Each structure stands twice: as C-alpha cells, then as structure tokens.
Amino acid sequence: MPGSNGAFDWRYTRWQRGIPAPVDGVIIHEEQVRIHVNGIELVSFMCTPKDLDLLALGFLRSEGIIEDIADVRLLHTCPSETCIEVWLRDAEPVLPQRAIVTSGCGGGVTFDDLSQRVPPVESLVTLTAQQVNDSMRQLVDAATLYRLTRGVHTSALSDGTQIIAQAEDVGRHNTIDKLWGYCLQHDIATADRILLATGRISSEMLNKAAKMRVPIVASRTSPTSLSVQLAREWNITLIGYVRGDSFNVYAAGDRVLPTSSLE
C-alpha cells in the first residue's frame, strides 16, 4: 500500500554476482491525477500523489488561471488521490483550451505559449560560488523521498543561505508547481529567490521560473539549448552541473561572484 510519504513498500528481487535474493524496499508512488476547475476537467498528468493541493495551486498560478490564493473558494482532494476539485470565486473563468505536452518525465503539461513575451527578470540578487555549491548540498540533504526511493526529482527555493521551500515528485515540472503552491499557501514571495533543482532544466521549467520572477536557476544536471536561449533573453542566471565545488554558468553570469569577493 502507498504511504503518505509518496512511496510504496515493495518486495523485489535483487541480483548480486549472479545470485538472487528477496529484498523489502520502497518504490516511488506514481498516479494519473486530474484537476477539475469549477466542475470541468482541465488537465490530467502523471505525478506523485503527495501535496496535491500545492500541485494544483501552483499549476493554476503558473498557467495564469489564478493570481493569488484568494481567487480559490474551495480546494478538495478526492479520497482516492486521483483528482483535485478546485472551485474559484469567479464562476465563469476563462480556461485555456490547448494543452502542450512538455518534455519532462512524469507527463508534464502546459497551456502556455513560449513565444509570448516574458519581461526580463530584474534583480540585484547575487551569489558567491561557495553559496551556489552550498545551496545545492542543502537541496540534496533535504531530499528525503529521493534518498528513500532514488526515483524522484527535487526542487527548492532558497534565499542563498537556507532553503525556504522544497518539493519532490516523479515529474520535474510538478516540483516547481508544488513549490509555487506552497509559497501561495504560506504567503511567501518567490521573487529574488534562487530555484534549485536536481533534474534537467527545460524551457518549460525556465518559463515557470520567469513567471515566479526568480533571477537564478541552478541544477545538478544540464539545461537544454532552448532554456539557455530563453535564460539569456529573460536575464535569468542559468547554472548547471552543480556538483562538488564546480558548476557551469550558461547565461547572465554577472550574478555569480568569486567566493573571495564577499570575504
């Protein structure tokens, strides 16, 4: 049975040096979940059915369907954890019609058109090289579900010193939506924060970061060519392969300072 932490207890067979042995372990929980808005099914996607209220809030904010948590009259997750019912204060909201399946694992979906203009992110936030590496270590240390299953992505918002919010899911995009949902629920500003991620930074994820007005995005892995292009256009510092004491900066590198500059 699935646990509330997003994982299943499971008995499987481990082969080592050609010899099988039964092992009691855990695997990540994945479900197809639907979001209904005012009784109308808006979208369905694959996700880890944990913190579904945050996922729904963040997705609706990212897609521009809500601007604030005050726009939501009622949010209810069904007992089976396969649907989220959202009722808005606006009885007849304008809902998007054309969904785009994204490149992310976990069946990411967006209604957004990346050709639409996004204003550049203006921010005075900077990080030293040491802060970049330390922040990524904090993200990995906070990834409890990843350590348990080795099967999820993790993202977090940081102020450069400590993690403010953190989320895990089978889908990279879902982690960003859960983060934004958490911030909406707890009245936390997302502007001028650092977005940390364990997964590849795609154009869709960078688009979410731009809407959150996040000036710095850092990942343990690689960005895509389009995300680099958009980061330069939107003035977002894009950092990849943050591992150990090294990393690569692909765009807007002026926000990253030598460690000695603040000593």
Phi, psi values for residue 246, rounded to 5°:
-130, 165
Contact between 259 and 130 under an 8 Å Cβ cutoff? The reply is yes
pLDDT tens digits along 45-86: 899 989 999 999 999 999 999 999 999 999 999 888 789 999
Q: What is the pTM of this model?
A: 0.88
Mean pLDDT over 15-36 rounds to 92
- Please tell me which residue, 93 or 34, carries the higher pLDDT value: 34
Q: Which domains does the chain have, with CATH numbers?
A: 31-110 (3.10.20.10), 127-262 (3.40.140.10)
Nearest to 95 by CA among 55, 41, 175: 41
Nearest to 192 by CA among 161, 213, 167: 213
Catalytic residues: 105
Least confident interval from 67-81, 105-119, 129-143, 222-236: 105-119
For strands 237-243 and 216-219, give the pairing: parallel
